[in-house]
């Protein structure tokens, strides 16, 4: 079973935390139940924060962390929630070091939407491609000129470093006329 660690940050969109948790927590449960197969989760999912305290999201919703990030010794994937307060990058140096250490230990790191700023702050994306929310593309380029930003891409894949350009890519689907068979 793969272990997924969601790094919940203050001023995130709550859906970048709870939606991610729902998707990974349901893998192996819903489909199996529908098909009459014994539910078997595919992922162990945990939510962590800088100090293990609850995080307050952009909409003022609080999400309880299951512990401090520093207590995570081994995980397969770390998913960074979106952020909307880039000044926290300066105060979150311990988390940036934590991400770098996990990446050195073969952990895949994925950033949701503006969480790519946090991933970029590690230096791991230098010389690579990334994406972020298109509305913050100019800010991203000015802060991280050594990263090839592709703000029109919904997902960039640099092997063990992934970025998504939005929290809810389903909202970007084009409305098309339904086709009848």
* Angstrom distance (rounded) from CA 154 to CA 130: 10
180 within domain boundaries: no
14 within domain boundaries: yes
pLDDT digits (tens, 9 = 90+) for 6-62: 999 999 999 999 999 998 888 888 888 899 999 888 899 999 999 999 999 999 999
Q: Are 117 and 88 in contact (CB under 8 A)?
A: no
157 within domain boundaries: yes
| pTM of the model as a whole | 0.89
Q: How many domains does the chain divide into?
A: 1
119 within domain boundaries: yes
- Residue span of the structural domain in which 79 resides: 2-172
pLDDT digits (tens, 9 = 90+) for 104-115: 999 999 999 999
179 within domain boundaries: no
Tell me the CATH number at 10.
Answer: 3.40.50.880
45 within domain boundaries: yes
């Amino acid at each position: 079973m793969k272990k997924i660690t969601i790094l919940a940050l203050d001023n995130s969109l709550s859906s970048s935390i709870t939606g991610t948790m729902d998707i990974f927590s349901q893998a192996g449960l819903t489909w199996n139940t529908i098909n009459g197969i014994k539910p078997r989760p595919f992922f162990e999912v945990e939510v962590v924060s800088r100090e293990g305290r609850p995080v307050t999201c952009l909409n003022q919703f609080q999400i309880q962390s299951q512990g401090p990030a520093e207590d995570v010794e081994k995980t397969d994937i770390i998913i960074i929630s979106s952020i909307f307060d880039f000044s926290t990058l300066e105060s979150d140096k311990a988390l940036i070091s934590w991400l770098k250490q996990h990446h050195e230990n073969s952990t895949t790191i994925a950033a949701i939407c503006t969480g790519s700023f946090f991933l970029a702050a590690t230096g791991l994306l230098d010389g690579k491609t990334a994406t972020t929310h298109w509305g913050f593309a100019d800010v991203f380029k000015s802060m991280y000129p050594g990263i090839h930003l592709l703000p029109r891409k919904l997902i960039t894949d640099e092997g063990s470093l992934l970025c998504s350009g939005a929290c809810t890519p389903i909202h970007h689907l084009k409305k098309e006329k339904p086709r009848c068979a």
